[in-house]
Structure 1
Amino acid sequence: MIKLRKIYPTTRAHSGTVIFLHGSGDTGSNLAEWVRFLLGRHMDFEHIKMIYPTAPVQAYTPLSGELSHVWFDRRAITIEALENRKSLSQMYEKINDLIQNEVELGVSPSRIIIGGFSMGGALALHIGYHLNCDLAGIFACSSFLNRDSIIYETLRQSLAAGTSLPELRMYHGAKDKLVPLDWGKETYEKLTELGVNGNFIPLDNTLHELKKHQILDIRDWILKKLPGEIQYKL
């Protein structure tokens, strides 16, 4: 079961939703607090609901099989490793349930954005470009995809069919030692070659972390993708 944490729900019906996925070993509440610390306040909107889910506890191979809050298992933290598709598939349905719940509340998929940090960003890419191409946008911070990712197979089919894809916004620390900048850049270039439109933003003097100006840029991008003019339904 994924635990949800909503930040300041609106008193009137929201017309947009952002699902922000944490990195490995973290929790949704910790990510929300990290964002609040960077901004000096919660990243909340009058017409947009923020959801910070927490990944289930499961064995994680890079930690010698120790239990941790992770979205999926990896064989190793390297772009060359084979993607653990079985582990990923077990999480697809859970995230899709979050999306479907918002749709049942009256929010169109075209008014839903999914993003994440590190592993959370990788899962966001899977949701947006492998499972649900109808979303408003995808953002990924300090993330990468394995070179054999199933996403690339799906996008080749989407490209041939002329499918419209969510806009992508990727950020990556230039000094990231855990997930090197080259991995993020290679991922972005492969995605754009297969029809994804977006931006890749290197962050100077940044390690494997979030920065205030990065969160501010994400906030502005969210408002651009999910404007408030149609925020309330009568």
Structure 2
Amino acid sequence: MRLECVEQETGPAPAWTVLWLHGLGADGHDFAPIVPELLRPHWPALRFVFPHAPVRPVTINGGMRMRAWYDITGMDFATRADAAGIEESVAQVEALVAHEAARGIAPSRIVLAGFSQGGAIALAAGLRRSEPLAGLVALSTYLPGGAAAAAQRHPNAVAQPVFFAHGDSDPVIPVQYGQASAQVLERAGFEVQWHRYPMAHQVCAEEIADLGDWLDRRLAA
């Protein structure tokens, strides 16, 4: 069953989709307010799709049930992500991409974005794409599985440019994990644009402006 989503269209007959995954414990409404800050007047009509992650128990939070793309079992970034949960969420992302294709928007006109846990799923899904998306956006996140996951990438996946951004003082996912993931992707052949900002586990105005510049180049291409 396809995930429920919050949708915004910036004009009639959108030609592009931005599929944006929220972080742990949030929902699809979390990043919807960013749309007006991100838009540029000359852009074509876009459809923003903000899915709600399933509700599941999260081990690191005492088993509390919340919206999560996968269970987090511990503090070690190499092993913390629940592999079965990642597989399930990647399949759900693929179903959303297929739904957009059925609505007339090809994968080459879909940008997959995510914050924190959502960014981890965006990267995990992006690595497996045989038909490349227009780009991947990874905000305050890391690549689950690191170099081992990157080594299993689909050969066509490296055609997807990556916008990777992180806060210098992030207490949830320390910046060194984000930077290491960006470097792993670069070594795997991805074109990565890396940014770091003086912030914690959040987004900031400068980051949204930089993301807008990056999206501008994707839409122009």
TM-score (norm 1): 0.84
Matched, 1:187 2:181: yes
Q: Which residue of structure 2 aligns with residue 210 of structure 1?
A: 203
Could you tell me which runs of 5 or more consecutive residues in structure 1 were left unpaired when the two chains were aligned. Answer: 229-234
The answer as to whether partners of 2:182 and 2:194 remain within 8 angstroms in 1 is: yes
Q: What amino acid sits opposite 2:175 in the alignment?
A: L
SS of 1:209's partner is coil
Distance 1:198 1:133, change over 3 A: farther
Structure 2 Cα separation of the partners of residues 185 and 42 of structure 1: 26
Q: Which residue of structure 2 aligns with residue 224 of structure 1?
A: 217
Q: Give the superposition deviation at 1:84.
A: 2.0
Higher relative contact order (CA 8 A, sep 6+): 1
Q: Give the superposition deviation at 1:129.
A: 1.0
Matched, 1:168 2:162: yes
Q: Say which is worse superposed, 219-228 or 93-102, in terms of deviation.
A: 219-228
TM-score (norm 2): 0.89
CA deviation profile, 1:143-191 (whole Å, cap 9, x unmatched): 0124457632323x62xxx764300110010111111110001111111
The answer as to whether partners of 1:83 and 1:149 remain within 8 angstroms in 2 is: no
SS of 2:93's partner is helix
The answer as to whether partners of 1:130 and 1:150 remain within 8 angstroms in 2 is: no
Q: What amino acid sits opposite 2:5 in the alignment?
A: L
Distance 1:61 1:207, change over 3 A: same
Q: Which residue of structure 2 aligns with residue 6 of structure 1?
A: 7
Q: Which residue of structure 1 aligns with residue 134 of structure 2?
A: 136
Q: Give the superposition deviation at 1:104.
A: 1.2
Could you tell me which runs of 5 or more consecutive residues in structure 2 were left unpaired when the two chains were aligned. Answer: none
Q: Which residue of structure 2 aligns with residue 232 of structure 1?
A: none
- Aligned residue pairs, count: 217
Q: Percent identity?
A: 24
SS of 1:52's partner is strand
Question: What is the root-mean-square deviation of aligned Cα atoms in Å?
Answer: 2.1
Distance 1:172 1:152, change over 3 A: same
Tell which structure's C-alpha radius of gyration is larger: 1
The answer as to whether partners of 2:147 and 2:184 remain within 8 angstroms in 1 is: no
CA deviation profile, 1:102-158 (whole Å, cap 9, x unmatched): 111221111110011111111100111124551010011110124457632323x62
